[in-house]
Structure 1
Amino acid sequence: MKLLVRVLITALIVMILPYFFKGIVVNHFTTALKVAIVLGLLNFLVKPIFVLFTLPITVFSLGLFLLVINGMMIMICDYFVDGFDVKNIGWAMLFSVVLSLSQSIVFKLTEAKK
């Protein structure tokens, strides 16, 4: 049940963010739901492999390269989900940062109410 709530919250945030960023397009709520699911799967399956292979660059950049990896996860999600369009890696990185911060805040607020 907790996973379903997190996916729905992520989908809502994904649906709201394009109103603030011109470089991101989400056509429908079902598209936002697909983005939330695909992004969750990518972060679980693909991101650890990217982090492992880019560990020297990540260490050298003091962890800032993780922003690029997060942006790449958004770009891969853009490739797999129709109706979700990200113009370039810069928009993807900005989207990933704001999405992560928004998720953190909303998840903390929902857990605090229990």
Structure 2
Amino acid sequence: MSILIRVIVNAVALWAAVFLVEGIRVTTDDTVTTVLVYLAVGAIFGLVNAVIKPIVKTVGCLFYVLTLGLVGLVVNALLLLLTDWFAGLLGLPFEIDGFWAAFWGAIIVAVVSWLLSLFVGGDDDE
């Protein structure tokens, strides 16, 4: 159940990024397909964050310390671009127009995910 909640939170956060950032798009014809695309991209984003982010944090630990965590914004943007690439491989109509769109989108996704996790109790420590 926790994984399903996490995918839904990611999907809503990605919807907010698509809504607020001009360079991020989901191009579908109907509402059901749009919801399914957001859920699929939310699952991909969750997998990318679960598998790759801990590796990057471990390897780049010194950069996190030296930049007081600001390199995390760049890492999150690159992970969102990687999600875009995986979505393209799977034929999902999710597109990001470059690093800066991914950068601002990653900030929005992080803030919205954090806010939603406060309400749904998406605590990863359980």
TM range (shorter): 0.7 to 0.9
Over the matched positions of the two proteins, sequence identity in percent amounts to: 24
Q: Which of these residues, 59, 82, 91, is aligned with residue 53 of structure 1?
A: 59
CA distance in 1: counterparts of 2:67 and 2:102, whole angstroms: 19
Which AA in structure 2 matches 1:29?
Answer: V
Matched residues, number: 111
Unpaired runs of 5+ residues, structure 2, are 28-33, 122-126
Residues 75 and 110 (structure 1), Cα distance of their counterparts in 2 relative to 1, 3 Å cut:
same
Q: Identify which of structures 1 and 2 has the higher relative contact order when contacts are C-alpha pairs closer than 8 Å and 6+ apart.
A: 2
Structure 1 residue 109: Cα displacement: 2.0
SS at match of 2:95: strand
Deviations, residues 37-67 of structure 1 (Å, cap 9, x unaligned): 1111111111111122222222211111011
Between stretches 23-32 and 64-73, larger displacement belongs to 23-32
Q: What corresponds to 1:104 in structure 2? A: 114
CA distance in 2: counterparts of 1:79 and 1:45, whole angstroms: 16
Residues 51 and 86 (structure 1), Cα distance of their counterparts in 2 relative to 1, 3 Å cut:
same
TM-score by length of 2: 0.78
Q: What corresponds to 1:77 in structure 2? A: 83
Does residue 90 in structure 1 map to residue 96 in structure 2? no
Q: How big is the alpha-carbon RMSD for the aligned residues of Structure 1 and Structure 2?
A: 1.5
